[in-house]
Amino acid sequence: MNLAKVLGAAQVLAINAVSIYGVFGAGWPVGTAIALYWLENALRGVVILLLLFVWQVLFRRQTVSAGAFGLKNFALLSLGFNAAHAIFLAVILGLVVPRMAPAQRFEGGSFRQGVAIISLLIVLELLVWLAGADRTSDARVQQTANAYVRRVVVLHLTIVCGMFGIVIFERPAILFGAFAALKTFADISGQLRRTATASDGR
């Protein structure tokens, strides 16, 4: 396993560890952890948008492949999905969870702690990418954008199902643990595939 794979996997593990440790180590409510997953997705969308901006504008390189993401269509897609997801979470976390599972309701203090840590990790990821932006291929940029779109759809549907499970069943921590493990595995697998493809393309 090369250094890029190791660093990519470590980054994914670190971000996922924030919510997992928060729930099982620091006693954060599951509602806070689910909200942090939304935040991670939204911040990652901003990172991808900056990536596209740097690539297409600052380096004056335009994507030419069929189905390629440009700044405008990616921004609209990311904003639309994350805004719809935010509305859903606001209703579930603000109205449903406090009634059905009050111990797991969203808590602002723990959310702010998670926001600070996750934001720092994602900023570090962005800085690493910017440092090597001039050596990045067009195919890798588009692969990153495509992977984000697939991820945001899957994560949205998974969180929707997970939230209903937390509300309906009496074991929210167990359900969250299973969901967090699957999400971490999927994130690491996706990161390793992208790194391997990028290495093969050089």
Q: Which residues of 62-75 are buried (b: 16+ CB within 10 A; e: fewer)?
A: ebeeeebbeeeebb
User: CA 182, 183, 184, 188 torsion: positive or negative?
Assistant: positive
Determine the straight-line distance between the first and last CA of the chain, rounded to whole angstroms: 16
Three-state SS at 59:
coil
Query: Which tokens is 98 given?
Result: 């406090």
Q: What is the pTM of this model?
A: 0.83
- Quote the pLDDT of residue 75: 87
Q: What digits encode the pLDDT tens for the residues 62-79?
A: 544 545 667 788 888 888
In total, how many domains does the chain have? 1
The boundaries of the domain holding residue 147 are 3-201
Which is nearest to 81 in space by CA: 49, 120, 110, 109? Answer: 49
Which is nearest to 119 in space by CA: 14, 191, 32, 20? Answer: 14
DSSP-derived secondary structure letter, 158:
H
- Quote the pLDDT of residue 66: 46
Query: Which tokens is 95 given?
Result: 């109205």
- Quote the pLDDT of residue 52: 82
User: CA 130, 74, 35, 37 torsion: positive or negative?
Assistant: negative
Listed as ranges, residues in the chain with pLDDT below 50 are 63-64, 66
- Quote the pLDDT of residue 192: 75
